[in-house]
Amino acid sequence: KSQFPQITFLFLLIKSLFLQETVKRGILFGAPIYISYSHSETDIKKTVSACREAFQIIKQAEREGDFRKYLEG
């Protein structure tokens, strides 16, 4: 059991929001996240773009202090 339940919960909210937003953009991450030589340059650009957009949403949620507002489902 975590000694820091609030930090753990916040981490899970952010991770869930990141995964949700990247899936919406066509990128499904597993754990851990790796880019390999089997990915094309187009794949990598799409992945980086999806991550950038997801991070912008996370940044907005952090500014508002409400990650749950952005989670769907």
pLDDT, position 53: 98
pLDDT, position 15: 95
1-41 per-position pLDDT tens digit: 667 788 899 999 999 999 999 999 999 998 777 778 888 99
**Could you tell me the pTM of the whole model?**
0.86
32-64 per-position pLDDT tens digit: 777 788 889 999 999 999 999 999 999 999 999
SS (H, E, C) the chain: CCCCHHHHHHHHHHHHHHHHHHHHCCCCCCCCCCCCCCCCHHHHHHHHHHHHHHHHHHHHHHHHCCCHHHCCC
